[in-house]
Amino acid sequence: MTTFADALPGETFTLSGTTEEGFDTLYGIPAVTLGENCDRLMTLGHITDRAVLAVTSAYHRRVWGHRVLPSSELADLTRVGTKRIGIKVTKGGEDDYAWHVDDADPKDPAAQTATIMSVEWLPHEDVAIQSECPACNRASRSTSLTTGPGYDGWGHYHRCRYCHHTWPAALAFDDLDDQRDRWLYSEALRGTPPAQAAQAWQHRLALTARRVAPRPQSPAAWAP
């Protein structure tokens, strides 16, 4: 069977799951994302439910930096979010993808087996720190990954449940200078004078520091 290196544009070849073909190793299993929004993960062969959960969780941790939460959706992932199918892989042309994949009849001699998982809808631990809406001052704890002011591509945003204002989230693991720039930019768009926006940022830093500081221990029951 033809390999990726030997295949000509438009020719069918057999994926072997090497880095040359764009695979990453997640939990020791070669996997690759599919789709423009990387909403699906594919591994070669028909893998077990346990391996599906391990690969999906490793993907969320590595690529998005967050932990998938235990929930009933994990059962749905293995029940309806995972397809064990036959695929046929074709090498792309010069200005095309390196290769693309189509469903194939398992009886087709050019078909190979693969497992495809939907990975983007799983509930996960939020990576942002609680923050007050700059427009109405109500607190927001959760964020969503979307496009908005202050990021070139996708980013984490708070969206106020009350006034629907959207502002960039401060991420626990993010660079502080980047966060400040995003904050100042988002406030400038709202018409806040720069000095006032800078002061509000300093105030937020102090609040954040308090929120991530360990809570004081409650006094022991036997203490006088």
Among 101, 129, 160, 197, the residue binding Zn ion under the rule CB under 5 A is: 160
Kindly identify the residues of this chain, within the stretch 23-82, that bind Zn ion according to CB under 5 A.
Answer: none
Q: Transcribe 178-224 into DSSP letters.
A: HHHHHHHHHHHHTT--HHHHHHHHHHHHHHHHHHHSPPPPPPPTT--
Size of the site for Zn ion (CB under 5 A): 7
| In the complex, least distance from residue 211 CB atom to Zn ion, rounded to whole angstroms | 19
Amino acid residing at 111: A
Q: Transcribe 92-128 into DSSP letters.
A: --TTS-SEEEEE--TTSTT-EEEEEEE-SS--B---B
Kindly identify the residues of this chain, within the stretch 80-119, that bind Zn ion according to CB under 5 A.
Answer: none
| In the complex, least distance from residue 135 CB atom to Zn ion, rounded to whole angstroms | 5
| In the complex, least distance from residue 148 CB atom to Zn ion, rounded to whole angstroms | 15
Cβ distance to Zn ion smaller for residue 100 or 138: 138
Q: How far apart are CA 195 and CA 202, in angstroms?
A: 11
Burial 151-170, CB ≥16 within 10 A → b, else e: beeebbbbbbeeeebbbbbb
Kindly identify the residues of this chain, within the stretch 163-182, that bind Zn ion according to CB under 5 A.
Answer: 163, 165
Stretch that binds Zn ion, among 15-23, 39-47, 157-165, 209-217 (CB under 5 A): 157-165
Amino acid residing at 192: T
| Alpha carbon distances (Å) from 86 to 42, 55, 67, 92 | 12, 20, 30, 19
| In the complex, least distance from residue 166 CB atom to Zn ion, rounded to whole angstroms | 10
Q: Contact between 159 and Zn ion (CB under 5 A)?
A: no
Kindly identify the residues of this chain, within the stretch 125-154, that bind Zn ion according to CB under 5 A.
Answer: 133, 135-136
Cβ distance to Zn ion smaller for residue 38 or 136: 136
Q: Which secondary-structure segment (H or E) carries 140?
A: strand 139-140
| In the complex, least distance from residue 76 CB atom to Zn ion, rounded to whole angstroms | 33
Cβ distance to Zn ion smaller for residue 98 or 189: 189
Question: Which residues of the shown chain bind Zn ion in the complex (CB under 5 A)?
Answer: 133, 135-136, 160, 162-163, 165
